[in-house]
Structure 1
Amino acid sequence: MPLEPIKRGRYYYAQGRVEYNGTPITEYYRKSTGSLTEAGAVDWIAVETAKRRRAYVVGPEAAFTFAEATMVYPASPKTAKKLIPIVKQIGDMPVESITEDVLKDLGRALKPDASTDTWWREIVTPARAVINKLHRTNRKFSAISVSSYTGEERNAQDERRGKLSRVEKQPSDRDWIERFCRAADVHNAALARFMFETGARIGQAVAITHAHLDPKKCQVQLKAQKGHKQTSIVVSPEMMEELQALQPKRTRNPKSGKLLEARVFGYVSSTSYNERWKRICAKAEIPYLSAHEAGRHGFFTELTVNIGVNPVDAAKAGRWKDPTVPMRIYAHSKADEAAIRGLFRTKLVQPLLNDATNNLKEKEKSDDE
């Protein structure tokens, strides 16, 4: 008997066997569909029948869909939000038939006006994680590797959307910080100075409460973030004095309205400072810089380019494990390109060439003697 809905109490059950061409291919079902209506039970039976028939024809691994794979993936709320549109697009696709081209092409369908960097971060990365987690759970499923978008692909998408991606970050300097602070309230001024002095991330900075301050050791405790464990950093006595003097501010969760614990800088999240900083920058008549540019980029550029601190020491102070990373991303040249080109036309070149020629002649003369 093929599967059919049977009402038992409040719920409808599926009863019978799944058949393929008139032949039973499963054990006998007597299972709740979880539906209170017959229509819902019929839909459940249709989905279950299609899945079992597909598994019977092509094998259980090949029949396992991406939507089913997401159900066994321990996604955080943030990742789950990214996965929802992906499941709507390829949820019915068997995992074994998903290729890197399928994942990379999803960007055009889901976020046609986004950059390839956004496609990689918001689509490829979470989808690949789901498939590879399934592989680690059951080796019968294949892992998937996806190559990065090429420069040509990135440029082509930028041209299509009429906007450049990977715009170079602009670091702050002492002058920008001072002008910002003169126009800012005490909390935002302290936030800018704290990030410029320590290289802390904005998410770490806004999470600081007065319980995280240790005045005796001049240390501030930072939460774990971006693969870095929770740690305490040393600040200048002036910075510690400024932080202690700040009146703690309590804010509410924008979604629940719940009153949150008092924080040193008063912000609830790593993005809630944005609008306030834009107004401060406009008032100070300085270009708007994000907290990441004013803090982390400004911190490393100030140490290595302006002050001349050894990059290894600067990286350690900013809690980078590999000094080549901040040198590649966070150190910004302050040199004037026109001035550098002008070096090739200075009068220093000719004397240097003459000296080299004379030295060579003297050496040849000495060899002859």
Structure 2
Amino acid sequence: MPVKIYKRGDIWHFRGTVAGRRLRGSTGTGDKAIAQRIAAEREAEAWKGHLDGPSAVLTFAQAAALYTQAGKGDHRTLRMMDFWKTTLVKNITEGQVRQAAVTLYPSHKAATRNREVIAPTQAIINHAASLGKCSPLTVARFKVAKVEKIPVTWEWVQAFMRHAPPHLGALACFMFLTGARISEALAVRWEDVDFTARKAKIRQTKLYGEERFAHLPAPLLVAMANCKRDRDTVFRYVERDSVRKSWDSAVKRAKIAPLSPHACRHGFATAMLHAGVDPVTVAKRGGWKNVQHVFATYGHAMEDETITDRIVSNTAFLPQRNYGKA
């Protein structure tokens, strides 16, 4: 059945069959001539995809839609969709992706270009490739200078809490004692918190809809209990950008190192590792998917030179046996 147009209200729609596949949709116009052209283009596109393979007609916008339907989309997906639009995926090269990163973030560091452009663009295309829609794409990342992440400590958090409003202090405490990202912490609602069981549900923003339950140590329970319940969310702030001004003011009042909210997550991992917790458990409790990332990123060396005493601290001293001849 060839593709034909028909009118529904003031708008022309199309329907038909191409190579056994049904096509139907709206042309979005009330102009019959334009509607006929749009329908003809959809029919030609369908035939091209059938004869030359799906990669011949797959646009980046369509690939991004597939990615989002799989539950993997975020704000970067929309940004990349807006940039690439109807560009055919098969025409997007490694060089074009790297240039897009420079174009969109001309004065930003390599890490930002990698995170905001290269990673999402490659992820969207490679997801479509996994569905047989196109070929996979590999894009070399911009070289990032390794900078040691400075984590907060429990002492830092306590000082911060003494000089911050209750909900802001509780936010810092929550991130440090659960390993939550700030976006995850700000999404926690009162209905997610079980004070009796000492648990809170955390929706993991980087693991595509997965959830985990975090234990709430006693100091955190107290801090959260002191927060007002006049909003659905526990920590009141709508988004991370609205936190930063109040955060910096509290840091200044406390006269402590000017560390960011994300340093609390670093502090969680570092403190857990230094407490002797294995990286696998740290990754599970903090919501990291890659255990190796935990070890490589947060395994800060301890400065205490006497740390080797711990090797024998719980072992009774045994006198050395004399192996020489009598």
TM superposition score normalised by structure 1: 0.62
1:282 aligns with 2:252: yes
Find the partner of 2:179 among 177, 199, 202. Answer: 199
Superposed CA deviations along residues 269-309 of structure 1, whole A, max 9, x for unmatched, are: 3443222101111222333322220x22112323434xx42
Q: Which residue of 2 aligns with 1:309?
A: 276
Superposed CA deviations along residues 165-216 of structure 1, whole A, max 9, x for unmatched, are: 6543221123322321221112212222232233233233223333333333
Ranges in structure 1 where 5+ consecutive residues have no aligned partner: 15-30, 156-164, 251-260, 340-365
Q: Which residue of 1 aligns with 2:20?
A: none
Matches within 5 A, 1:182-193: 182-193=162-173
| CA apart distance, 1:313 | 7.7
Give the distance between the partners of 1:304 and 1:123, measured in 2 at CA: 32
Structure 1 counterpart of 2:255, one-letter code:
E
Contact kept, 8 Å, 2:118 with 2:139, in 1: the verdict is no
| CA apart distance, 1:60 | 5.6
1:326 aligns with 2:294: yes
Contact kept, 8 Å, 1:197 with 1:299, in 2: the verdict is yes
Q: Which residue of 2 aligns with 1:257?
A: none
Contact kept, 8 Å, 1:12 with 1:32, in 2: the verdict is yes
Q: Which residue of 2 aligns with 1:221?
A: 200
Contact kept, 8 Å, 2:176 with 2:267, in 1: the verdict is yes
| CA apart distance, 1:144 | 1.1
Superposed CA deviations along residues 58-81 of structure 1, whole A, max 9, x for unmatched, are: 946564152563475242462442
Matches within 5 A, 1:163-312: 167-217=147-197, 219-225=198-204, 226-227=206-207, 229-250=210-231, 261=232, 263-293=233-263, 295-305=264-274, 308-312=275-279
Structure 2 counterpart of 1:81, one-letter code:
L
Structure 2 counterpart of 1:335, one-letter code:
E
Superposed CA deviations along residues 196-240 of structure 1, whole A, max 9, x for unmatched, are: 2332332332233333333333x1222230338433333333432
Give the distance between the partners of 1:128 and 1:323, measured in 2 at CA: 22
| CA apart distance, 1:98 | 3.2
| CA apart distance, 1:146 | 0.7
- Partner of 2:239: helix, strand, or coil? coil
Contact kept, 8 Å, 2:122 with 2:137, in 1: the verdict is yes
Give the distance between the partners of 1:282 and 1:195, measured in 2 at CA: 20
Q: Which residue of 2 aligns with 1:355?
A: none
Contact kept, 8 Å, 1:202 with 1:270, in 2: the verdict is yes
Q: Percent identity?
A: 26
| CA apart distance, 1:330 | 1.9
Give the distance between the partners of 2:166 and 2:210, measured in 1 at CA: 29
Shift in alpha-carbon separation, 1:43–1:332, aligned structure 2, 3 A: farther
Count of residue pairs the alignment pairs up: 288
Find the partner of 1:144 among 136, 141, 146. Answer: 136
| CA apart distance, 1:328 | 1.3
Give the distance between the partners of 1:48 and 1:182, measured in 2 at CA: 63
Superposed CA deviations along residues 33-79 of structure 1, whole A, max 9, x for unmatched, are: 432347855874896699689x49x9465641525634752424624
Superposed CA deviations along residues 92-143 of structure 1, whole A, max 9, x for unmatched, are: 44x3343333333322333333333333333333333443344344x3x442
Give the distance between the partners of 2:166 and 2:125, measured in 1 at CA: 48
Give the distance between the partners of 1:322 and 1:136, measured in 2 at CA: 21
- Partner of 1:73: helix, strand, or coil? helix
- Partner of 2:203: helix, strand, or coil? coil
Q: Which residue of 2 aligns with 1:358?
A: none
Contact kept, 8 Å, 1:100 with 1:146, in 2: the verdict is yes
Give the distance between the partners of 2:244 and 2:27, measured in 1 at CA: 48
Contact kept, 8 Å, 1:202 with 1:292, in 2: the verdict is yes
Shift in alpha-carbon separation, 1:38–1:172, aligned structure 2, 3 A: same
Shift in alpha-carbon separation, 1:133–1:44, aligned structure 2, 3 A: same
Give the distance between the partners of 1:62 and 1:313, measured in 2 at CA: 40
- Partner of 2:242: helix, strand, or coil? coil
Which structure's relative contact order is higher, taking Cα pairs within 8 Å and 6+ residues apart?
A: 2
Give the distance between the partners of 1:178 and 1:117, measured in 2 at CA: 31
Give the distance between the partners of 1:209 and 1:146, measured in 2 at CA: 39
Ranges in structure 2 where 5+ consecutive residues have no aligned partner: 15-24, 306-323
Structure 1 counterpart of 2:94, one-letter code:
E
Structure 1 counterpart of 2:200, one-letter code:
Q
Q: Which residue of 2 aligns with 1:87?
A: 84
Find the partner of 1:123 among 98, 117, 120. Answer: 117
Superposed CA deviations along residues 148-179 of structure 1, whole A, max 9, x for unmatched, are: 32xxx426xxxxxxxxx654322112332232
Contact kept, 8 Å, 1:221 with 1:232, in 2: the verdict is yes
Contact kept, 8 Å, 1:204 with 1:222, in 2: the verdict is no
Contact kept, 8 Å, 1:115 with 1:154, in 2: the verdict is no
